[in-house]
Amino acid sequence: MRCEWPVSVPLAAETHYGRPMRCFAERPRSLFQMFAEAVGRAPGRMAVVGERGRASWAELDDAVGRVAGQLARRGVIRGARVAMLLGNGRPFLWTLWACARLGAIAVPLGTRLKGMEIAHAINDSGAEILIFDGELADALPKPYETPMLRHRFADGEDIPGALPFDHLLAPVAAPPVEPVSEDDPAIILYTSGTTGRPKGAMLTGLGLVHSVLHYQYCLGLREAERALLAVPASHVTGLVALLAVSARLAGTLILMKRFQARTFLDLAQRERMTFTVLVPAMANLCLLEPAFTRTDLSAWRVCGYGGAPMPEATIAGLARHLPGLALHNLYGATETTSPATIMPPDGTARRPDSVGLPVPLGRIRIVGEDGLPVAPGAVGEIWIAGPMVVPGYWDAAEATKANFCDGFWKSGDLGSVDAEGFVRVLDRKKDMINRAGYKIYSAEVENVLAHLPGVIESAVVGRTCPVLGERVHVFVQADRDRSGRPVVDAGQVRAFCAERLADYKVPETVSFVDEPLPRNANGKVVKTILRRLAEEAAAT
C-alpha cells in the first residue's frame, strides 16, 4: 500500500513557468506577505534573539522599513539584485526582508566563499549593491573584478571603499510594499559548484511559500515556534526552513553566528528552543559533547536533519536521550527550494535508511540510464517536480535545458522508491563506486562505520584500479588515545565492515585523518578532494 501525506487543505490545479502542477489554493502570495502577516499578528512577540540583543516583530519591521527606504534612495527597484555576504546576524534579516519589501532580488553568498567565487556570483547576477560583514573584507574580490557594483556597505568594521551598514539604518520613510508576481525570482542562490561554475538557482515566491507550508504541515509546526538557526542563513535550509518558516509562524528566530556544540546546547536551553534543522555532523557533535546529558532540552519538540546521510548510530543516540523529540529526515536541494521529501514522525526508527515520503505536492520519478522510469525498488536517478522546484537558473538557458525535463529537475542523485512510496538516496551519480561491475553506494558503508565505537565520521570514495576499475577507500576521523593514536586501526575497520557487508563493499584501504572531513559551504563532504588524496596515497 502506497503511503502519502494526508492533505486537509484545499488544493488547486495551476500552471506556473509553463508547467502544470498542484498548489495549495490558500497561501501567501509572496515572501514579504508572510513577514507582514507576522508583524500584524504578533507585533510585540520576540522575532529575533542574537548577539546584538533582541527585537520584537514591530521593531524588526521598523528596521526593515528603514533599510528598504535607504536602498530605494540608492536606486534599488523591483528586480534589482542585492548581493549579501553576511553571516547569521540581524543585518542578514534586515537586508533580506528589505529586498522582499522592494521586490528586489536578494543574492545571499556563503561566508566561506573567496575572491573569484564571490566575483562570479556578483557579476553573473548583475548585482549593483554588496552588503558584507566587515570581518570578511579580505575575502572580497578587487573592485575592478566586479565593475557593476555601485555601492558597498560593511557591517561591523570600517572598510576602505565601503560605507558603514549603519547608513542603511538611518531614519527614512518606509517605501510602499512593491507588488510582485509569485512566479518572479525573489532570491538567487548559487549552487555549490562541485562540477563546473556555480549556477544561480532562481527561488520564486511560489516555491518559497510552498516549501514553508510543506515544513509547517509535515513537521507539525505551531504558531510562535522558537527556532534556532545554527546552519548558514545563506544556505537554502537556513533561509527557508528556519528564517522564512519563523515568519510564517510569527515565531522567534534564535541566531547562532557559527556552530559550536556547547554553545548550541547552552542557547537551546536558555532560549527554550522548540525546533531546529541540523546537518548530521552537528547532531553527532552534540551527542559527543559531555554537557549534552546535563542540558535541559525538554522544550525541543522537532528536529529536522539533512544535507548528508545521518548515521544510524546518531539517530539512535538522539532517540535514546530525547525520547520526546520528533526526528525528521529531510532531503532536497537548492533547486527544490529545500525539502523534496520529509520523513513522517513515526518513520525514522522503522526506516533509518530512507529520506521519507515526497512532500504533499512534490513528485518523485526514478529514471534509468535510458531516460525511462524504473520499477518500484529499482535504482535510478532521482527526478523531482512540484511547485517548490525552481523554474531554472539565472541567465543560463543551456544549463536550465540540460538539468530540467518535462517539469522535473534532474537531481544527479541515485536512489529508489519502494512500493510504499518511501525514497532512498544511495549516492551521487559521480560518487558511486564501480568495482568490477559491482555498484557500491558510499552511504551504505558510511552508515555501517558510524556504529563502530571510536569512529567520529567517515567518507568512502573510489580509488582507481587498472584491474577492477575502482577499489573502495575510506577516510576515517577517529577518537585518539593518550598517545595521539587512533583508537581503531585499519584492520578493525575492515573486520567490522566484513561482518555486515558483502565482501566487495569492504574498504580495502583506510586513511585516518586528524581534522574533520572537508566540507563545502552547504555542509556536504567534498569527495573530489578525498578522491585526489586517495589517488596520491596510492601513488606513493
pTM of the model: 0.86
Distance, in Å, from the CA atom of 264 to the CA atom of 177, rounded to the nearest integer, reads: 36
- Position 377, amino acid: G
Distance, in Å, from the CA atom of 524 to the CA atom of 175, rounded to the nearest integer, reads: 40
* Contact (Cβ atoms closer than 8 angstroms) between residue 337 and residue 210: yes
* Cα-Cα end-to-end distance for the chain: 54
Q: Which three cell numbers stand for residue 436?
A: 568490477
Q: Which three cell numbers stand for residue 530?
A: 578525498
CB atoms within 10 A of CB 311: 24
Distance, in Å, from the CA atom of 257 to the CA atom of 247, rounded to the nearest integer, reads: 19
Closest CA to 36 of 109, 101, 130: 101
Q: Which three cell numbers stand for residue 509?
A: 584501504
pLDDT at 522: 63
pLDDT at 192: 62
Q: At what angle do helices 205-219 and 31-41 cross, to 10 degrees?
A: 50
Q: Which DSSP string corresponds to 477-524? A: EE-B-TTS-BSS-HHHHHHHHHTTS-GGGS-SEEEEESSPPPB-TTS-
pLDDT at 310: 72
Provide the 3-class DSSP secondary structure of residue 364.
strand
Distance, in Å, from the CA atom of 251 to the CA atom of 249, rounded to the nearest integer, reads: 5
The boundaries of every CATH 3.40.50.980 domain in the chain are 54-181
Distance, in Å, from the CA atom of 283 to the CA atom of 230, rounded to the nearest integer, reads: 11
What is the fold of 54-181? Rossmann fold (3.40.50)
pLDDT at 88: 97
What is the fold of 431-539? GMP Synthetase; Chain A, domain 3 (3.30.300)
pLDDT at 367: 96
pLDDT at 437: 66
Distance, in Å, from the CA atom of 204 to the CA atom of 190, rounded to the nearest integer, reads: 14
pLDDT at 262: 97
pLDDT in tens, the chain (540 residues): 788 898 899 999 999 999 999 999 999 999 999 999 999 999 999 999 998 899 999 999 999 999 999 999 999 999 999 999 999 999 999 999 999 999 999 999 999 888 888 999 999 999 999 999 999 999 999 999 999 999 999 999 899 999 999 999 999 999 999 999 999 999 999 986 544 578 999 999 999 999 999 999 999 999 999 999 999 999 999 999 999 999 999 999 999 999 999 999 999 999 999 999 998 878 988 998 999 999 999 999 999 998 666 777 788 889 899 999 999 999 999 999 999 999 998 887 788 789 999 999 999 999 998 989 999 999 999 999 999 999 999 999 999 999 999 999 999 899 999 999 999 988 777 787 888 767 787 888 888 898 899 999 999 999 988 777 789 999 999 999 999 899 999 999 999 999 888 788 999 999 999 988 998 766 678 888 999 998 887 777
Query: Cα dihedral sign for 44, 49, 50, 51?
Result: positive
Q: Which three cell numbers stand for residue 107?
A: 543574492
The boundaries of every CATH 3.30.300.30 domain in the chain are 431-539
Q: Which three cell numbers stand for residue 314?
A: 546518531
